[in-house]
Amino acid sequence: MVTVEGLSKIYNIAVKDAGIVGTLKHFWHRQYRAIAAVKDISFAIASGEMVGFLGPNGAGKTTTLKMLTGLIHPSSGHVQVAGHIPFQRDTSFLQKITLVMGQKQQLIWDLPALDSLKMNAAVYDIPDKVFKHRLGELTEMLSLEGKLSQPMRKLSLGERMKAELLAALLHQPQVLFLDEPTLGLDVNAQASVREFLREYNQRYQATIILTSHYMADITALCKRVLLIHEGGLIYDGSLEGLHNNFAPYREVRVELSQPITDREGLQKYGQILNIDVQAVCFLVPREKLTKAVSQILAELEILDLSVNEPAIEEVIGRVFRAGSVEQN
């Protein structure tokens, strides 16, 4: 459904010295420097797949999404979405995709959402009978019954986001590009949007590319992730594979029967992450896990012991700090 080969985007940014002299020099002899927002990335996404697209601020996520939707022209490389070249902006292509940005809105603030939805239906030339059927189906899936007749400004943030999703999906696109769709929502609203996206994907086999700073969105919806760092793609694979490749250790949490007095004596069991009165958390390499746990059980008086994988946020943070994924 989505094929990307050697995609890059270079911006030429004007450079100017400070002060009036710098301004005059800039006026007569303008200089530029090249900024690579996206650098030679390649990947493919199958029909019906849900993929998380992750990266720190300024990594190139939104620029990539804009190239995939045809909003900006790539500097080099090839991209094809649903059988179309995005930047050509064919009408048939636009009817197959949608782009939802959590910090943007398309519905008119002072009008009831239903009025804006009717305008969207007219723009996409959706027959009245089909419009009513899709509106009823999506309204039920999003739990928006009785809300669409109210002005958008009267809705809660979560309800507005749901209404924006409804508007974006009214023409039943094959490919969904979602850029921070749960931005600013509370925990319950985030969970509701995630459940809707899961159901929508299963019902219509839509292809979904999702960016989010809330890792709960990614872990709940996406088995595969793409990591982009400083414009380059540094990982393409499963979340499980990311854990195995970049987190070859486990967290061992131990609650002792007595307060901890000998911190140095505990270091032989593994790297100490934190200590709190009678509790200690170790970081233990996977290959040494069995031996370390056996030693802890044999040598310490414990009340409780648990072994966990590091949080995915921590793993991805380590990837971004390193700038690459080490294979183990």
Domain definitions of the chain by residue range: 2-243, 248-308
Higher pLDDT, 186 or 170: 170
| For residues 22-39, average pLDDT | 85
pLDDT reported for residue 323? 59
> Does residue 110 surpass a pLDDT of 70?
yes
Q: CATH code for 2-243?
A: 3.40.50.300
Tokens of 318: 């380590």
> Does residue 220 surpass a pLDDT of 70?
yes
pLDDT band at 74 (very low <50, low <70, confident <90, very high): very high
- 248-308 folds as Alpha-Beta Plaits (3.30.70)
pLDDT reported for residue 325? 53
Task: Give the amino acid at 36.
Answer: A
> Does residue 310 surpass a pLDDT of 80?
no
Mean pLDDT of the chain: 87
Q: What is the CB-side half-sphere exposure of residue 159 using CA atoms within 13 A? A: 17
Query: For residues 137 and 95, what is the distance between their CA atoms, to the nearest angstrom?
Result: 19
pLDDT band at 98 (very low <50, low <70, confident <90, very high): very high
Higher pLDDT, 249 or 232: 232
Higher pLDDT, 57 or 232: 232
pLDDT reported for residue 128? 93
pLDDT reported for residue 327? 43
Query: For residues 275 and 259, what is the distance between their CA atoms, to the nearest angstrom?
Result: 10
Tokens of 218: 């990614």
Query: For residues 38 and 8, what is the distance between their CA atoms, to the nearest angstrom?
Result: 5
DSSP 183: T
Distances (CA, A) of 155 to 110, 134, 158, 184, 292: 11, 21, 8, 15, 54
